[in-house]
Each structure stands twice: as structure tokens, then as C-alpha cells.
Amino acid sequence: MNNKRLVNILFLFPTVFAFLMIIVVPFFFGLYYSMTDWNGVSPNINFVGFQHYAKLFSMPDFVHSFVITIGFTAINVVLVNIVSFALSLIVTSNLKLRNFYRAGFFVPYLIGGIVLGYIWQFLFNNIFVSMGKSMSITILEASFLSRPESVIWAMSVVNTWQYSGYLMLIYVASIQSIPASLMEAAQVDGARYVTRVFHILIPMMANAFTISLFLTLTTSFKQFDMNFTLTNGGPATRFMGSPVKASQLLAMNIFDTATANKMAEAQAKAVILFVALVVVALIQVAVNKRKEVEM
Amino acid sequence: MKKVLSLLLMVMLVTAVFAGGQQGDKGAAEGGDVTVTMFQLKVEIKDALDAYAAKYSEMTPGVTVEVETLGGGADFGGAMKAKAQAGDMPDIFVIEGMGGYNVWKDYIANLDDQPWLKDTDLAFMVDGQAFGFPVAIEGYGLAYNADILKKAGIDPASLTTRSAYEKAFQTLEAKKAELGIDAPVAMAASVAGGMWWVAGQHNLAAYWGGGLGFNDTSVIEAALQGKMDEPRFREYAKYVQLLFKYADQNILLNGSYDDQVGSFAQGKTAFLHQGNWVDPNMKQLGVTFKMGYAPHAFTEKPQTGLYLFAPSWYCVNSQSPRAEQAKAFLNAMATTADGQAYIVNEAGMIPAFKSVELKPTGQLSQALMAANAKGGNYGVFFGMLPDGAGQNVFGPIYDLFAQNQDDLEQFIADMKAAIAGLPNM
């Protein structure tokens, strides 16, 4: 018994140690620094309490980032899941070459967000624009990335392209775990395909939806790399009377604050992001869990 | 449980031995050869600087200089902070202005007694004391393609007022097809293209310092108190509007540095709003036409000066035991023939030291050097602004003005509000 415990502890030690040192300890340090005026270097650290938090919600750029991050997340949760669920239905049907399609849809996920941002930036700024010019399609003549009202949608398209292949795999696995007999029985009873999908498939794979919604929610909320390379926060727009960056999501707002040597303020923003993320994710999981069916 | 404890203790002991061992090594090194570490951010001079550091190490017994370069848009400040936290602070590092000075002032050594100081106007000074070694002179005006202007019948020497520019731009616009250009000006102002610094830093510098004495900081001092000189700013804003109106709109609203410089290099635009750092790009792109600099003349009162500044400074780590060796290295760079040859010939920079007689090869750098010799230039003071002012505050304002170019009043109002907010940044 004692021996077994020792083995357990030994095996757990590396991960627990890493988790403590890389996640838990810095988290509490971060909480502390968010209540100071530290600039990242100076040895003089003064405690200022909740001063940073108090002014955050009167700063137009931060409020704007918060709002568009919620918008971006909402768009993505819908778009990514619809697309990936549709893809999973396609690649589990009796399609020729379906393994090829599975691999193909998954490939974008393997490209890193940085590279992918640059690729799509080139597509949006050069390819689409010159296509629009040569074919006189007015809507394409100015880049989608240079229009404040369309830039979030352009980012969502890229995000969908990147993540739907990954979520497709989760859905495929879930579809395959449903006993074929259920679908066959329904078919024999005369249920049409759409009916079978909505009344058997979707309720049976509710746990896959829980995971997928959670993943899209958190990844969109924390989106940084693609945001950084695709739009760099641009173009500018007006919000609460001040010029702000139209596509600067929360994570990038934090980054820009930190690179301006306002470490403590950036840390306070990061804490807000953390709290918002936890609240939203908990609500989502709680709601989804209620819909799950036990086999 | 005892076993676990003893095991943990063992792990800790082993770690301590390793850590101790490392420190021991360092101490030993200090006894014999001294290694001066330098951390800098100019990627374009990396090879030249590495070679010079190697040469210096060879010629100076007992001292080895090691250069580490991080740049190309990487987060230099962040990397420095990581180094400082790790107790691995370099002996020589770079600051880019007052913002950097305020962050690092506990580490920055006073350089008042250095021999090179009296040979330069561009040392980093705070309250009359020197703290930074100027890396080079950089500068800008509005670069022009002399061949295109000649064909259009425009004399670049006449471009000294805003209305002269307006006339020239109109001529170019009318002869676009004939000259084979897309637009008169290659200007970039987009947040998306990462070009906020062209507009919100370099162009805005005309408002801070244009037409004033080289060390006259009165306009920016007032701005740091939250006050804007509205008549002066209005003149300047009209000049910005002019540049935006006659700029290639795609580059202006969305272009990157490469788009902007490339368009000028290919002769698709007649003017380029960039500094002499584009010389290597011009060489790379095989540019053969003649170039020069016209002033950013934003008033009706003629302005003829260019904007000259030191983009960054080397600072010596005052807490390092190797500070003296680090100072000696910088001094050699400024005062020895080898050091000067490195600055001018190898790194292709304009030296900030008056006694240097070598000349850089780039056309724009030569134009700047000529302007520097002639005098009557303007200082560049955006380094005095709080960190993030250009990128996070002014950048979006210029981007928005580029999108709505007719709304001059809104631009002025936005900038007024932004300047009023500067004291609280």
C-alpha cells in the first residue's frame, strides 16, 4: 500500500510540479501585480489596490475590445459548429474518398495561427482585391480587412476555416460511437434523413456538442495569434467617441497594453479576461450538461 | 511518507548543486577573461556588429564582446525584462527614448565622462546629463524620385511650402498616365499594415518640431502638459490631408512597409514618406533612378530642413561589474578608425559623431548627411512621449482620418482630445 502511494506520488510529481510553478504560482503573482503599479522592471512596487480595475470600464479601447470579443465568440460558436457538424455528416456518409476529405478538412488546423494569418491576409488584401478589380465586383474592390464593419466577419471566416476540421473529428468520433441499430430502426420505421439527424443523432451526441462548444468558446475568447497577423487590430473605428482599433480582441488589447510597459494594467485586464472566460464557460457547460443523454 | 520527504530533499539538493555549480563557473570566468555582453535590436547591422565585436575582442586582450541581436519586430522590451528577471542583464543594451529610460533608469550608467560625448549632438540626455550613446543618425523628409519630377517639370528645390506641394501633386495627378505612376505619394497610415509609426510618429514629428530650432521642444513640452497649439496643428493637419488625398489609397489604408517602399522603388509613386533606412531596400530592389529629400513643409512659411534624430541609444548597465569595459567598447566604436569604418562602411549607418569623415553609399543617407552638414534641420521628439502613445492612441486616429479624409475638423478634435489625455498616460 505504502509503496503504491509512493509510486503514485512519484509519477504525479513532474506534472503537478510543472502545473504549480507554471500555472498556479504565476496566477497568484499576477493577481498581486494587477493591484500594483509595477512596470515590469522597477524594484519599487507600490500597492494601488483596485485602481486599475476601477478605470478599465471607462476606457473606450478596452470596452470595445470586450464587446467585439463577445461578438466574435458568438459568431464563431455558431459558425464553426454548424460548419464542422455539416462536414462530419458529409464525411460519415457513403461518400467515395471520404478518408481523403477527412484529412483534407483537418489540414488547416495543422497550420499555425501565425502562418495562417499571413496567408489569409494575402488572400484578402491582394487576391480578392485584384479579382474584384479585374472583374469589376464592387464589394471585393476594397479589402474586407480595411472595413471596420466587415473585419470581424473576415476573422470569423478564417477562424472557421481553421477550427472546423478539428471539431469535425470530434463529431465524427461521436457519430461513430452511436449504435448503427438505432439509426437503422428509425429508417425502417420510415423516418426521413433530416428527422433522424435531429431526433436521434443530435440528442445522442450531446456530449460532443458540450466539448465542441466549450472549445470554440474558449479558443475564440482567447484568440490572439491569428488576430495579430491577420489584422493587427486594424482598421480604426470610432467607439464611445474615441478612435479605437476595430479588430483588437481582448488578448491583443492586453498584449498592446503590456508592450507599452503598462504591465500592471495589462495584468488587471488579463484577470478580467480570466473571470469572464470562467463565467461564460461554466454557464455553457452547465446548460449543455443538462441536455446530455446517458446511454 | 519519510521516504517521500527524503526523496524531495534529494531532488532539492541536486538542484542546488547544479545551480551552485553554474554560479561558480561565472565567477571563475571573471577572474581571467572578461566577457562583455551586448543586447541590441537592429537586425540589419547584426553581421557587421558581430564582426566588429570579434575584431575588437581580438585586439583587446582580456576582453571578449558578445553581441546578441533580437529584432525584426520581436518584443525587445519583453526579452530584456525576461533577462533582467533571470539576473542575466546585458552589459550594453538599447533604449529608444524617454519611455525606455524611465523603465530601465535603475540600470543606466551615467556617461558624462566619456570622450565621445563632445563629438556629438545626439547623445541621450536627461537634465543635462548623458545616459546614451547614439547608435546612428537617421532621418527623413519626403523622398522623391528625381527622374519622375524632372519629366513632370517639377523642381524639387521649390517644394518648401504646402501650396507648392499641392501644385506639384496636382501636376503629377494630371500626368499620371503619361508618367506611368499609380499616385503621386506612397504614404502608409494603417493600423492593419502595422504602419502607425509612419503617420503617428514620423509624420506627427513635423508638428512637434517642424520649422523650430533643432533643440526646441516647446511644442511637445506643452503637449505633455495636455495643451495643443491649435493654429499650428491646423496648418499641419491640412498637410496631412494633402498627403492622404494624393496617396495611393490601397497602400494608405492597408499597405505594409514592403507595399509602400516597393511602390516607390518600382516608380509607381513619385514621393515616399520614409527615412534613410530604406537605402538597403532600394539597393535590394535594384533602384537606378536618382533620389533626394524634400522637406515636410506643412506651412505657407517656407521650411527647408529635414528631420534628424538618433533612433536608439546604447546604454551601459550600471550594476554590472563590467561597466568600464563596456564603456571602453563604445568609446572605441566612436573614436577609432576601425570603429568608424564599422559604423559607416560595414553597417551603412550615418555616424552621429562630427569628426567622422567617411561617407555612406546610399543616396538617401548621402542626402541626409549633406543636410546635416548644411544645418537648419529639425529635431525629432516623439521619443519624449509616453510609451504606447504612438501605437495605441495616435495610430487609430490617423487610420480613421485616412478613411474619412474630408473630415479635417474631426481629426483635429480627436488629436486635441488625445493630447489632452497625454498627462494621464
CB-nearest partner of A146 from B77, B107, B253: B253
Cβ neighbours of A245 in B, within 8 Å: 191, 395-396
Q: Could you tell me where in chain B the CATH 3.40.190.10 domains are found?
A: 34-138+310-372, 142-305+386-424
Q: Say if residues A223 and A72 touch (Cβ distance below 8 Å).
A: yes
Contact A220, A125 (CB under 8 A): no
Q: For residue B129, give the H/E element and its range.
A: strand B129-134
Residue A235 to residue A231: CA distance in whole angstroms:
8
Please give the pLDDT value at position A291. Answer: 76
Contact map slice: B 312-371 vs A, CB within 8 A: none
Kindly indicate whether the domain formed by B34-138+310-372 is annotated with CATH number 3.40.190.10. yes
Write down the pLDDT at residue B64: 93
Q: Given CB atoms, is B193 within the 8 Å cutoff of chain A?
A: yes
Contacts of B4 in chain A (CB under 8 A): 6, 9
Does the distance separating the beta carbons of B397 and A259 come in below 8 Å?
no
Tens digits of per-residue pLDDT, A23-39? Answer: 999 999 999 999 998 88
Q: Tell whether A6 is covered by a domain.
A: no
**Side chain identity at residue A141, one-letter code:** E
Nearest by CB: A234 against B3, B192, B387:
B192
Whole domain around residue A273: which residue ranges?
Answer: 53-291
pLDDT less than 50: residues of chain B: 1, 13, 16-31
CB contact under 8 A, B104 and A234: no
Contact B309, B122 (CB under 8 A): yes
pLDDT for B295 = 95
Chains A, B: CB contacts within 8 A come to 94
pLDDT digits (tens, 9 = 90+) for A9-23: 999 999 999 999 999
Cell 524632372 belongs to: B150
CB contacts under 8 A, B 214-253 vs A, are: 250, 253
In CATH, what is the architecture of B142-305+386-424? Answer: 3-Layer(aba) Sandwich (3.40)
Among the listed residues B115, B137, B113, B111, the one whose alpha carbon sits nearest the alpha carbon of residue B124: B111
- The residue with cell 578608425 is B337
Chain A interface mutation, best of B95, B191, B201, highest count of A Cβ atoms under 10 Å = B191
Q: Tell me whether residues A234 and B399 touch, CB distance under 8 A.
A: yes
Domains in chain A, number:
1
Question: Residue A41 and residue B106: Cβ atoms within 8 Å?
Answer: yes
Chain A contact set for B253 (CB, 8 A): 142, 146, 235
Q: How many CB atoms lie within 10 A of CB B115?
A: 10
* Low-confidence stretches of chain A (pLDDT beneath 70): 1, 293-295
Q: What is the CATH number of the domain that holds A96?
A: 1.10.3720.10
| Minimal Cβ distance to B191: which of A9, A236, A242 | A236
User: What is the grid cell recorded at B104?
Assistant: 530601465
- Cβ of B388 within 8 Å of Cβ of A261? The answer is yes
pLDDT of residue A160: 94
Predicted ipTM of the assembly: 0.85
Q: Does A41 contact B84 at a Cβ distance shorter than 8 Å?
A: yes
Domain-embedded: residue A5:
no
